[in-house]
Amino acid sequence: MLASAIYLGIWVGGLSVYYHFLEVDPQRQMVVAYLLGAGDSGFPHMEWLTLTEKRHLLDVRRLFATIEQYCYWVLAGSVVLLIGQRRAVGQVLRASGYLGITSVLLLLLLLMSGFLPLFVFLHTLLFPVGTWVFPADSSLIQLFPLDYFFRFALWYVGSLTLFFGGLVIKLNGSMGFGKR
């Protein structure tokens, strides 16, 4: 459960970091700000988008909001469980670190086997059929080409690796492993 909270927390935090520090295109900034909750909760007011593109962005915005709420609930549940099991905190953190590293390695294998199949699978799983495929000249495709999502996936996997790897190293170091 804690590993899930960490995954979700890095996703939620990562979207904001990615937006604030790595985004330079003004139209893309506007879209990402909308996805992260800026403006009203209805269709985005971006005249360059088609109705289908706006519907997809609304679906993505709702998904991001759900992920963020789920993150807070899972984190709260993890904290409550850890408080109830104070003696086992080290074991839980260590197990979460190893589970996180293992799942990151599996995710990395999936990415290495081909990003496009993973991208299509996730979109098929998360969005209604026919609502997320756009022509090559679509504004959304121009603003968010497949390479954009691939770069974010690499950033996300790298962040997860640093976090879980650091957790495992810290916990093993604090438990006396590797010390002479």
* Tens digit of each residue's pLDDT (9 = 90 or more) over 124-162: 999 999 899 999 999 999 999 999 889 888 888 998 999
The model's confidence at residue 102, banded by pLDDT at 50, 70 and 90, is very high
The model's confidence at residue 48, banded by pLDDT at 50, 70 and 90, is very high
Cβ contacts of residue 10 below 8 Å, gap of 6+?
156, 159, 160, 163
N- to C-terminal Cα distance for the chain?
A: 34
Q: How many residues does the chain have?
A: 180
Please report, for residues 9, 154, 171, 174, the alpha-carbon distance to residue 107 in angstroms, rounded to integers and kept in the order given.
17, 10, 23, 28
Instruction: Say if residues 160 and 100 touch (Cβ distance below 8 Å).
Output: yes
Domain assignments of the chain as residue spans, ordered by start? 2-174
Task: Round the average pLDDT of the chain to a whole number and report it.
Answer: 85
CA-based nearest residue to 39, from 48, 49, 29, 25: 29
